[in-house]
């Protein structure tokens, strides 16, 4: 949604409002609307609002291609008098086969739309096309005539009713809920596409007029080809060239046969929306734009090297090999297919010479280049608010009680609208924990938290383990906790990504975001109502280098996705390789701490050390791990900030033994100690007027006597000594035992001794060992 709004409205500098219109839950009449400023922040708010209302079953969501005047009421549908102007023209292809029929027509005329929206495929493909303009068309009659011209120029294959200036159109990325009376339709996610040959810059209005001459709107609706003055005209129109290149007619030999298959029609792009066909035409467009912009900037025609340096990054970012080889970089694949740097450099050399000799139409002189750039608003197309004071709004009184609370869906870690990062070294248990948390959310039992909640729909996507491994882990958790499959059916999606080649958040050396995947995930969330999505591990859902910049880009995009779709995201992430004995922190995540700053919640998992296992009295430290302190991992292992877990082996129905994770409590030193036991210890201490040694190294250390009275050995290093140490520390802190410094006559020095205090030992009932 946001990508389309930015592409269609981001170049407009005149203040205006974007209208997001929507229906009721019956999917019918479009009676409601909300209007937003055409600024980066406003477009983000518009996309977020649209995603939220569209998530309700039956509510169809639309946008107005024409901007509304800045003083239009913002909470109701705009009227025709509120239209400010349109930065685009459009066509709607609702009839079966219309979209397929339109494509060869606009290709032949040399004016591809900037974006196309597939609004549905059942019972037949339906689509809309949009041509962006370099300036607003303010006159509504002029816009109506332009829209009628597009309809006529496409040989009347578009819907004749959709040629009015105040029209609203489907918002890409939204769910098209079936309307009443529309037989054969189903709820479908609308798709955003960039057609082959689509330019980067908007078209000049005169260029659109040349290809699609304005027509009489009323006559166009009747299937008549009348000019605005009423003269009957032929359907054909002259073909105009792309800005910066001469007008040409496409040779018949280059026309492609129309295929009835939607897949065949859209094979021009790979899964990332990069061109694999039409690369020659696109190269000409970016080279032409580079020549125009560099000439205006430098005051002279650029060299071939300067053109290549400016144009190649854009070409490489938007094009890809038609038949890529596994693991092959994009640049090498393009070069292998004859559309890489060598070929591109030759094209730059040719057009640099053409520019120098004045052979490129529209760019015959430096002055014409500068005029062309000025007409497009300058070389740099950064967006800025028309009102500078809107950059940082000052505080205004608001209802403080209405400030929304964080919407936690699970524990204090997963919250709607935010991403949460779990970092751990390999083999600690993070995958087991993530899956167990997903099952806990799906059942609502609170098996890890002790808090029952309503069951939720949740996705656990594991990109490094086979589906059979994941299924076995689910089986082990169900068996251990006594959960029937019916409790997770339709609620838990535990999916392996090992066999999937199309699921990755980013690719390429710079971390190009896979927007088609995010659009598909958005549709999944809205169609299913999923509350949380957990991805494990993060580096396996990226095809980019593990750098700070890449993970920052991925993290920012995931955070925006969580906010736009009001869903909780969990990201399981590995640490980099650490030196032995070094405890991991959140900043030790692969890619550095860049990811940390994009997430609202971060946690580190730490495995139990051999020393901790000895203190806790467990046989092997390898079976235990904890959610450690957020930033430093420096809290004592027995502190309440740590939540401990044990990895246990569970027999599953197929006879295998599979690991599962269960909560585990650090031993309580007072477990099993009665009031009678505590008073017996106090009497023993009180009976010895000399007291007992306070240092564990003393032969008469108080802990040894405590162990003897309570039935465990504290004389040797191990769990018994740690338990005695914990008991003595707790009793001293409470005043039941006291430390005094006395002089040791035999040793001739002062020594700290422990004596009975005034308080009863039974006043202290719990303390963690260690």
Q: How large is the average pLDDT for residues 584-594? A: 71
Q: How large is the average pLDDT for residues 569-576? A: 89
pLDDT bin (cut points 50, 70, 90) of residue 478 is very high
Please confirm whether the linkage preceding 123 is cis (ω < 30° from 0).
yes
pLDDT tens string 60-107: 999 999 999 999 999 999 999 999 999 999 999 988 888 888 998 998
Strand partners, 543: 507
Distance, CA of 764 to CA of 770 (rounded, Å): 16
* 3-class secondary structure, 195: coil
Give the angle subtended at the CA of 632 by the CAs of 629 and 637, to the nearest 5°: 45
* Dihedral sign from CA coordinates of 413, 415, 420, 422: positive
pLDDT bin (cut points 50, 70, 90) of residue 227 is low
The answer, yes or no, to whether residue 274 has pLDDT greater than 90, is: no
In 3D space, the residue among 701, 680, 711, 684 whose CA is nearest the CA of residue 752 turns out to be: 701
Neighbouring C-beta atoms of residue 336, cutoff 10 Å: 14
pLDDT tens string 375-398: 544 443 334 455 566 678 889 888
pLDDT tens string 696-734: 888 889 989 888 888 888 888 877 888 888 888 888 887
% of the chain surpassing 90 pLDDT:
33
pLDDT tens string 166-203: 889 999 989 988 887 777 788 888 988 888 888 888 89
From residue 437, alpha-carbon distances to 450, 456, 477, 532 in Å are: 12, 11, 11, 11
The answer, yes or no, to whether residue 275 has pLDDT greater than 90, is: no
Are 525 and 564 in contact by the 8 Å Cβ rule? The answer is: no
Which secondary structure element, helix H or strand E, spans residue 129, and what is its range?
strand 126-137
Are 605 and 627 in contact by the 8 Å Cβ rule? The answer is: yes
* 3-class secondary structure, 77: coil
Residue 184 zone, left/alpha/beta (φ > 0; ψ -120 to 50; rest): left
Lowest mean pLDDT among 67-71, 393-397, 503-507, 579-583: 579-583
Neighbouring C-beta atoms of residue 139, cutoff 10 Å: 13
Q: How large is the average pLDDT for residues 471-486? A: 96
List CB contacts of 253: < 8 A, sequence separation 6 or more: none
Q: How large is the average pLDDT for residues 672-699? A: 82
Position 373 scores a pLDDT of 60
The answer, yes or no, to whether residue 550 has pLDDT greater than 80, is: yes
Taking the alpha carbons at both ends of the chain, their separation in whole angstroms is 54
**DSSP state, residue 258:** P
pLDDT tens string 529-539: 899 999 999 98
Question: Which tops the pLDDT comparison, 357 or 251?
Answer: 357
Q: For the purposes of burial, counting CB atoms within 10 Å of the CB of 307, is it exposed (0-12), middle (13-18) or buried (19 or more)?
A: buried
pLDDT bin (cut points 50, 70, 90) of residue 744 is confident
Are 115 and 192 in contact by the 8 Å Cβ rule? The answer is: yes
Question: Which tops the pLDDT comparison, 116 or 387?
Answer: 116
Are 148 and 220 in contact by the 8 Å Cβ rule? The answer is: yes
The answer, yes or no, to whether residue 52 has pLDDT greater than 80, is: yes
In 3D space, the residue among 122, 234, 138 whose CA is nearest the CA of residue 182 turns out to be: 122
pLDDT bin (cut points 50, 70, 90) of residue 268 is low
Position 230 scores a pLDDT of 45
Question: Which tops the pLDDT comparison, 642 or 695?
Answer: 695
Neighbouring C-beta atoms of residue 97, cutoff 10 Å: 13
pLDDT tens string 621-638: 899 999 875 543 334 454
Q: Where are the alpha helices (DSSP H) in 657-712?
A: 675-687, 702-710
pLDDT tens string 434-450: 999 999 999 999 999 99
Distance, CA of 714 to CA of 697 (rounded, Å): 12
% of the chain surpassing 70 pLDDT:
84
Question: Which tops the pLDDT comparison, 418 or 387?
Answer: 418
From residue 732, alpha-carbon distances to 392, 409, 694, 755, 760 in Å are: 56, 42, 10, 9, 11
The answer, yes or no, to whether residue 508 has pLDDT greater than 70, is: yes
């Amino acid at each position: 949604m946001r990508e389309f709004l930015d592409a269609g409205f981001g170049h407009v500098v005149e203040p205006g409002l974007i209208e997001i219109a929507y229906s009721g839950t019956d999917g019918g009449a479009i009676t409601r609307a909300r209007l937003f400023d055409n600024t980066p922040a406003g477009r983000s708010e518009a996309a977020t609002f649209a995603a939220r209302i569209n998530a309700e079953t039956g509510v169809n969501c639309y946008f107005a291609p024409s901007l509304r005047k800045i003083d239009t009421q913002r909470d109701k549908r705009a009227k025709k008098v509120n239209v400010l102007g349109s930065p685009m023209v459009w066509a709607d292809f609702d009839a079966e086969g219309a979209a397929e029929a339109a494509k060869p027509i606009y290709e032949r005329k040399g004016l591809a739309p900037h974006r196309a929206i597939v609004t549905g495929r059942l019972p037949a493909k339906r689509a809309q096309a949009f041509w962006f303009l370099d300036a607003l068309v303010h006159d509504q009659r002029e816009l109506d005539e332009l829209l009628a011209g597009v309809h006529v120029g496409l040989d009347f294959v578009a819907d004749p009713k959709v040629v009015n200036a105040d029209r609203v159109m489907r918002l890409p990325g939204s769910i098209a809920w079936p309307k009443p009376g529309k037989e054969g339709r189903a709820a479908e996610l609308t798709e955003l596409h960039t057609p082959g040959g689509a330019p980067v810059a908007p078209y000049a209005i005169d260029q659109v007029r040349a290809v699609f001459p304005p027509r009489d709107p009323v006559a166009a609706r009747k299937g008549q080809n009348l000019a605005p003055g009423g003269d009957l005209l032929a359907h054909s129109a002259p073909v105009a060239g792309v800005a910066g290149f001469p007008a040409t007619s496409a040779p018949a030999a280059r026309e492609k046969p129309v295929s009835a298959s939607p897949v065949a029609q859209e094979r021009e792009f790979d899964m990332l929306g990069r061109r694999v066909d039409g690369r020659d035409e696109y190269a000409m467009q970016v080279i032409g734009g580079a020549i125009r912009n560099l000439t205006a900037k430098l005051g002279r025609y650029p060299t071939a090297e300067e053109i290549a340096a400016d144009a190649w990054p854009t070409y490489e970012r938007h094009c890809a090999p038609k038949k890529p080889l596994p693991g092959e970089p994009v640049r090498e694949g393009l070069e292998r297919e004859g559309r890489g740097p060598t070929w591109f450099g030759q094209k730059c050399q040719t057009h640099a010479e053409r520019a120098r000799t004045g052979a490129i139409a529209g760019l015959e002189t430096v002055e014409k280049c500068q005029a062309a750039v000025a007409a497009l608003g300058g070389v740099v197309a950064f967006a800025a608010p028309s009102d500078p004071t809107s950059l940082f709004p000052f505080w205004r009184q608001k209802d403080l009680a209405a400030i929304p609370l964080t919407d936690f869906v699970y524990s204090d870690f997963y919250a709607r609208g935010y991403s949460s990062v779990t970092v751990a070294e390999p083999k600690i248990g993070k995958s087991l924990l993530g899956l167990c948390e997903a099952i806990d959310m799906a059942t609502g039992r609170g098996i890890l938290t002790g808090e029952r909640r309503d069951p939720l729909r949740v996705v656990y996507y594991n990109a490094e383990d086979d589906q059979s491994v994941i299924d076995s882990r689910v089986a082990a958790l169900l068996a251990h906790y006594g959960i029937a499959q019916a409790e997770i059916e339709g609620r838990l999606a535990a999916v392996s990504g090992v066999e999937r080649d199309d699921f990755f958040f980013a690719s390429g050396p710079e971390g190009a975001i896979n927007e088609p995947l995010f659009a598909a995930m958005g549709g999944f969330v809205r169609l299913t109502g999923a509350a949380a999505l957990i991805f494990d591990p993060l580096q396996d859902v990226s095809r980019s280098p593990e750098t700070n910049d890449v993970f920052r880009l991925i993290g920012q995009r995931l955070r925006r996705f969580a906010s736009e779709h009001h869903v909780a995201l969990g990201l399981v992430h590995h640490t980099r390789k650490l030196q032995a004995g070094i405890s991991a922190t959140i900043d030790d995540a692969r890619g550095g701490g860049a990811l940390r700053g994009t997430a609202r919640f971060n946690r580190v998992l730490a495995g139990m050390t051999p020393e901790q296992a000895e203190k806790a009295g467990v046989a092997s430290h390898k079976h235990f791990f904890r959610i450690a302190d957020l930033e430093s991992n420096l809290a004592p292992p027995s502190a309440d900030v740590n939540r401990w877990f044990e990895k246990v082996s569970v027999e599953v129905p197929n006879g295998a033994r599979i690991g599962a994770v269960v909560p585990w409590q650090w031993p309580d030193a007072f477990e099993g100690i009665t009031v009678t036991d505590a008073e017996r210890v106090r009497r023993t201490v009180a009976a010895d007027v000399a007291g007992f040694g306070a240092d564990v190294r003393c032969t008469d250390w108080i802990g040894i006597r405590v162990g003897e009275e309570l039935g465990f050995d504290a004389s040797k290093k191990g769990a018994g000594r740690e338990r005695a140490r914990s008991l003595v520390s707790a009793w001293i802190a409470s005043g039941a035992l006291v430390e005094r410094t006395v002089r040791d006559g035999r040793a001739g020095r002062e020594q700290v001794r422990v004596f009975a205090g005034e308080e009863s030992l039974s006043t202290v009932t719990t303390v963690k060992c260690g």
